[in-house]
A and B are shown apart, each in its own frame.
Chain A
């Protein structure tokens, strides 16, 4: 039990070598007053068959749904080879590659990952990943303050079109270091930042502008104009991007005249299942000149004592285990396993597979928009270019509709009422390449029944 191999005879033999009467004697340095009894209320141990049954029952109770929610987590096809290889014990049960000679597999994979994600975002260098997209944005904000020598402020411009959860996370993680965010409003008609109203925000020496592309509404921001404007005012540009979209959309490295300075995003679309929110991974890439301001693990290629190529963690002097209170961040780990999956995913997809995934997802979302806006009281909220996600406006509150759809096994989208009350009843929807025309038809039919009924049940 408890995966302990010892026989009673071995325990006795080991205690004799130690010179202890019994196992209890090994805890004799703990003050007796503190000693606990058995933890109260602990369930009985289950064997593998019993826990398997319990977990299967709970999973079955949840069932599966037909999902049209994106909002930061996307259901894409995951090739079978991805997790078949990623869960090999040699990847799955190893640790941070401190002993480089015994970790060349993980290290070379991370080097390949850094190459792929740098290329995908159009930047020069990448780290070996952070926890998730939201916390990666928080780290990017802290990094921008360190890296921007032209500005001494800790103020950043944060558009309301950035994922609200990312904004909340960035605030929670950076507020203790005195960072503040000035909200940039969006154009109520277009759903993007109004580029002609920006100058009002350039006073007070902001250190960076955050741009999400596609933005939280799925709309495409005028990234070239925004980037050039920020640079002209001495700001760095932090890009938040969806990696799948970069199969087709201009990478942040070529935005405007000089490109974005720091790029972050959620890696989940690259072969990581939705998994109720995690584990995912955050990616981060930047210009070479900022590499020492970048948090997280970084792998470099070098030579061994025999002059042969090999890989090792490098630039570790920035990190907490050496620099302690002066480290770039307190982060220790990357999200190694998820990066392993993403690297295999990107290798299988290649540039063309990724572009096709992006195009098919965009096509399905367009089809979904066409289908749903044919229903009475449903219309597209924002005209103009979008990518693979879009906002619908409805003539009645969204929450009861979504609840009714769930009862039919459909996740109808993300209700914007809490985060964007000014929009009125609004729903963020997404269809990826995993959805068929029949799926879209099923959603249309179900929603149609609900909206045609003037007194739709709550």
Chain B
């Protein structure tokens, strides 16, 4: 029911990543995640320059009924953040994979993305969780 674009990679914690040139990845939360959270009212993003460890809590997405940590899917340095989300968090609800991107991270040298899933694998995960 929710969208899982095939060209992206995913984590079990419902983040997506898109690989950009020069060892940079873009990330956000999945359509499934935004749907589960409901209307987002607030997004808190890390500062530019912060060095993330894969798996650490790096951002918060807040709806009326919940506030959830977003975990860094990769290790690396934050080089860009989607500050427009601070005014219009609903963009994540409307367009989680494009306009609703959250961070761009330059991968640490030799860093592998932690436990990344393919679109098919993520879809299987959703099917299992939903069942």
Contact = CB atoms under 8 A, between A and B. Distances in A.
- Is A–B contact present in the complex under a CB 8 A cutoff? yes
A183 interface: no
A317 B69 contact: no
Contacts of A318: 67
Please classify the interface of chain A as helix (H, G, I), strand (E, B), loop, or mixed, using the class held by over half of its residues. Answer: helix
21 contacts: A149-B47, A292-B42, A292-B44, A292-B62, A316-B64, A317-B41, A317-B42, A317-B62, A317-B63, A317-B64, A317-B65, A317-B66, A317-B67, A318-B67, A322-B65, A322-B66, A322-B67, A323-B66, A323-B67, A326-B67, A326-B69
Q: How large is the interface on B (under 10, 10 to 19, 20 to 34, 35 or more residues)?
A: 10 to 19
Q: How large is the interface on A (under 10, 10 to 19, 20 to 34, 35 or more residues)?
A: under 10
A300 to B, nearest CB: 11
A326 B44 CA distance: 15
A316 B64 CA distance: 7
B115 to A, nearest CB: 22
Please classify the interface of chain B as helix (H, G, I), strand (E, B), loop, or mixed, using the class held by over half of its residues. Answer: strand
Contacts of A149: 47
Interface of A: 149, 292, 316-318, 322-323, 326
Contacts of B67: 317-318, 322-323, 326
Given A317-B42, A323-B66, 17 more contacts: A149-B47, A292-B42, A292-B44, A292-B62, A316-B64, A317-B62, A317-B63, A317-B64, A317-B65, A317-B66, A317-B67, A318-B67, A322-B65, A322-B67, A323-B67, A326-B67, A326-B69
Contacts of B65: 317, 322
B27 to A, nearest CB: 21
B64 to A, nearest CB: 7
A157 B16 CA distance: 43
Contacts of A317: 41-42, 62-67
A312 B109 CA distance: 49
A292 B60 CA distance: 11
Query: Considering residues A149, A317, A326, which has the most beta carbons from chain B within 10 angstroms of its beta carbon?
Result: A317
A325 to B, nearest CB: 11
Contacts of B44: 292
Contacts of B47: 149
Interface in B18-34: none
Contacts of B62: 292, 317
Interface in B42-69: 42, 44, 47, 62-67, 69
A322 B62 CA distance: 11
A234 to B, nearest CB: 15
Nearest to A322: B66
A317 B42 CA distance: 10
A323 B69 CA distance: 10
Nearest to A319: B67
A292 B64 CA distance: 13
A149 B47 CA distance: 10
B110 to A, nearest CB: 27
B65 to A, nearest CB: 7
A414 to B, nearest CB: 43
B54 to A, nearest CB: 20
A292 B42 CA distance: 10
A317 B65 CA distance: 6
B106 to A, nearest CB: 22
Interface string B86-117: 00000000000000000000000000000000
A29 to B, nearest CB: 33
Contacts of A292: 42, 44, 62
A316 B63 CA distance: 9
Query: Considering residues B42, B62, B67, which has the most beta carbons from chain A within 10 angstroms of its beta carbon?
Result: B67
A383 to B, nearest CB: 48
A248 to B, nearest CB: 38
Contacts of A322: 65-67
Nearest to B41: A317
Nearest to A314: B64
Nearest to B42: A292
A265 to B, nearest CB: 28
A102 B12 CA distance: 41
Contacts of B64: 316-317
B41 to A, nearest CB: 8
Closest 8 CB pairs of A and B: A317-B67, A317-B62, A323-B67, A322-B66, A317-B66, A318-B67, A322-B67, A322-B65
Nearest to A292: B42
A316 to B, nearest CB: 7
A145 to B, nearest CB: 16
A318 B62 CA distance: 9
Nearest to B44: A292
Interface string B65-78: 11101000000000
